[in-house]
Amino acid sequence: MKSERLRALLPDVWALMRPRRGLLLIGFFLMVINRLAGLVLPASTKYLIDDVIAKHRHDLLLPLVLAVVGATALQGVTSFSLTQLLSKAAQRLITDLRKQVQAHIGRLPVTFHDSHKTGVLVSRIMSDVEGIRNLIGTGLVEFAGGLLAAVVVMVWLFFISVKMTVVAIVVLLAFSGVLWKAFGSIRPIFRERGKINADVTGRLTESLGGVRVVKGYHAEAREESTFGAGVQRLLDNVLKSLTAMSIMTLSATVLLGIVGAVVMYIGASQIFAGTLTLGGFVTYTAFLAFLIAPVFQVVGIGTQISEALAGLERTREVMRERPEDQDPNRTVSLGPIVGNVEFEGVTFAYEAGKTVLHDINLTARPGTVTALVGPSGSGKSTMIGLVTAFYKPVEGRVSIDAVDLSSVRLDSYRGQLGVVLQESFLFDGSIAENVAFARPDATEAQVLEACRIARVDEFAENFPMGYDTIVGERGVKLSGGQRQRVSIARAILADPRILILDEATSSLDSESEAIIQQGLSYLMRGRTTFVIAHRLSTIRRADQILVVEGGRIVERGTHATLYSQRGRYYDLYTKQHGVESNLFLAPGEGDSVEVESLR
């Protein structure tokens, strides 16, 4: 990681550590005690050999052994408390961060979600956050403790033999330089790994989620090769870092050999010359390990920290995105609305320069049904997206009861909005939970009432578990019509002022169709309804039909007036349904005729 990027991350690292600085300090303190206690055993060896054994000082043996036992006990206790304190704190940190990142991502605007793969976001929440743990866990503290022990030991080593120590330190410093360089080359590999991981998981989530489409188009082999290529990239990345790591281990081994040989040579010469005792020599070799340990630790800790920083950087990217409700323009809190929706000169583009809606003007009065019809890609869903405030107009304004929607706090608005989509979205939960989704505080009686109106009761009560039947991921165990009934019940329970309907294009059998129509008519009553309409019955019943083409409203009026105008609507309509024999059927009659699509 380049140093300026590292610097940019420091405030975030500090923000994570700050609330836990007391804990980290205690951890460090414990680590110091732990390391110093660890020095007692090798240090006592010198006294054992040179004083107790060589000079036959029986009286010193017991105190020395007791000191070693005490120090070992201290080491045990401190290392246990360290794990308890720091590792647990690190796990709590992950949990907190995951909650934060998930909450944040959930509040980001639809435009953000439109341009980010689900799987990538999942990996932001789960894996990247996991990496950050290393900043708080035992790793850093252990490294700091190791460094401190090394410094203490170094002073000691100088006392025993200046010559040996100077040589050892020179070799170690040279090696640290090599390691530092090597790390510079590994870090980008780690950063890359996180990205590849997210890409691969992202694609995998999509292909598993869309398993029906994959199978339908017999595209299993293509998905296999896409996934294969993804994991291959991951493998290449891991292999690259493994090579770098093994070069490090190799040079570390060589280093140990060199230092060992040098110490052996100088140490033996000094013993011959009488400037070093045998005990001093044994202690020296034992201590040397303490000096070398941090150099090795750098390898492990460096990897962890690289991972942590890379994870932090990616998490930070997401956290910098502004949640929709933090928009400073959204200041108006709506009370209960009547539901008068108005578009005034609305122009919209997803990408600058590519206008999707041109100068749209419309009024949807409370309690009326506005049907949007027109070919695919004409802009119907985009208009709906503006009503739900997923998007903001580029020009003009969308208003609710004369309040500009772009100034409205979303929490005060969306609660009064109900949505029933083509692909009825059911969660992995019970039927009752799915119905109560929009109003978790609803009483059982209210849920049952909504289910009765939407005719969910007819099938739910036949299941052995009744309303507690789990509908599986996306409600796979329910038929299309049953899923729609559940989502109609959900909307009835939510009792929204404004209702958005995206009618299914797929046909249902005429009985289910009739049941769903009844549910929908109940649902639409007294609300401002926008419907992307495909069903004849809905279109006939609409108070106004807007014919959308190329992002413009080309015709508007009721079925009867538009039909008699013989314009675009007439063309679209007769292409699908032939010329109508009785134009003035009462709404509801002829409902069983399925409008395949006006597209």
Q: 376 vs 564, which CB is nearer to ligand ADP? A: 376
Phi-psi region of 23 (alpha: psi -120 to 50; beta: other; left: phi over 0): alpha
Q: 351 vs 441, which CB is nearer to ligand ADP? A: 351
Q: Distance of CA 370 to CAs 171, 175, 540, Å?
A: 81, 75, 11
Among 139, 379, 393, 519, binds ligand ADP (CB under 6 A): 379
Rounded Cα distance, 54 and 49, in Å: 6
Q: Which two tokens stand for residue 59?
A: 């009286």
Please report whether residue 112 would count as binding ligand ADP according to CB under 6 A: no
Q: Would you call 118 helix, strand, or coil by DSSP?
A: helix
Taking the complex as a whole, the smallest distance from the CB of residue 379 to ligand ADP amounts, in Å, to 4
Among 44, 378, 487, 517, binds ligand ADP (CB under 6 A): 378
Task: List the alpha helices (DSSP H) in 210-277.
Answer: 211-216, 220-273
Q: 360 vs 515, which CB is nearer to ligand ADP? A: 360
Please report whether residue 356 would count as binding ligand ADP according to CB under 6 A: yes
Letters for 301-340 (x = contact with ligand ADP by CB under 6 A, - = none) are ----------------------------------------
Please report whether residue 118 would count as binding ligand ADP according to CB under 6 A: no
DSSP assignment letter at 468: G
Q: 379 vs 475, which CB is nearer to ligand ADP? A: 379
Please report whether residue 387 would count as binding ligand ADP according to CB under 6 A: no
Residues facing residue 549 across a β-bridge: 552
Phi-psi region of 509 (alpha: psi -120 to 50; beta: other; left: phi over 0): beta
- Inter-helix orientation angle 510-524/480-494, to 10°: 10
From 48-56, 348-356, 424-432, 580-588, span contacting ligand ADP (CB under 6 A)? 348-356
Cβ-based neighbours of 108, under 8 Å, separated by 6 or more: 321, 322, 323, 324
Residues facing residue 399 across a β-bridge: 342, 404
Please report whether residue 382 would count as binding ligand ADP according to CB under 6 A: yes
Taking the complex as a whole, the smallest distance from the CB of residue 468 to ligand ADP amounts, in Å, to 37
Rounded Cα distance, 11 and 18, in Å: 10
Taking the complex as a whole, the smallest distance from the CB of residue 385 to ligand ADP amounts, in Å, to 7
- Asked if 456 contacts 486 with a C-beta cutoff of 8 angstroms, the reply is yes
Among 114, 325, 428, 468, binds ligand ADP (CB under 6 A): 114
Taking the complex as a whole, the smallest distance from the CB of residue 381 to ligand ADP amounts, in Å, to 3
- Inter-helix orientation angle 162-209/220-273, to 10°: 170
Q: 292 vs 595, which CB is nearer to ligand ADP? A: 595
Q: Count Cβ atoms below 10 Å from residue 231 Cβ, excluding itself.
A: 12
Tell me how many residues contact ligand ADP (CB under 6 A): 12
Q: 145 vs 374, which CB is nearer to ligand ADP? A: 374
Q: 292 vs 357, which CB is nearer to ligand ADP? A: 357
From 169-177, 362-370, 379-387, 488-496, span contacting ligand ADP (CB under 6 A)? 379-387
From 118-126, 369-377, 489-497, 583-591, span contacting ligand ADP (CB under 6 A)? 369-377
Residues facing residue 529 across a β-bridge: 369, 499
Taking the complex as a whole, the smallest distance from the CB of residue 584 to ligand ADP amounts, in Å, to 29
Rounded Cα distance, 65 and 63, in Å: 6
Among 377, 429, 557, 590, binds ligand ADP (CB under 6 A): 377
Please report whether residue 388 would count as binding ligand ADP according to CB under 6 A: no
Among 350, 427, 459, 463, binds ligand ADP (CB under 6 A): 350
Taking the complex as a whole, the smallest distance from the CB of residue 419 to ligand ADP amounts, in Å, to 15
Taking the complex as a whole, the smallest distance from the CB of residue 135 to ligand ADP amounts, in Å, to 37
From 179-187, 258-266, 376-384, 425-433, span contacting ligand ADP (CB under 6 A)? 376-384
| DSSP per-residue codes, 363-399 | EE-TT-EEEEE-STTSSHHHHHHHHTTSS--SEEEEE
From 224-232, 262-270, 377-385, 417-425, span contacting ligand ADP (CB under 6 A)? 377-385
Q: 120 vs 150, which CB is nearer to ligand ADP? A: 120
- Asked if 547 contacts 557 with a C-beta cutoff of 8 angstroms, the reply is no
Taking the complex as a whole, the smallest distance from the CB of residue 111 to ligand ADP amounts, in Å, to 7
| DSSP per-residue codes, 498-519 | EEEEE---S---HHHHHHHHHH
Rounded Cα distance, 243 and 35, in Å: 32
Closest by CA to 500, choosing from 351, 386, 401, is: 386
From 203-211, 319-327, 374-382, 408-416, span contacting ligand ADP (CB under 6 A)? 374-382
What are the backbone angles phi and psi of residue 394, rounded to the nearest 5°?
A: -80, -40
Taking the complex as a whole, the smallest distance from the CB of residue 376 to ligand ADP amounts, in Å, to 4
Cβ-based neighbours of 569, under 8 Å, separated by 6 or more: 373, 545, 547, 555, 557, 562, 563
Please report whether residue 376 would count as binding ligand ADP according to CB under 6 A: yes
Taking the complex as a whole, the smallest distance from the CB of residue 552 to ligand ADP amounts, in Å, to 12
Site residues (CB under 6 A) for ligand ADP? 114, 350-351, 356, 374, 376-382
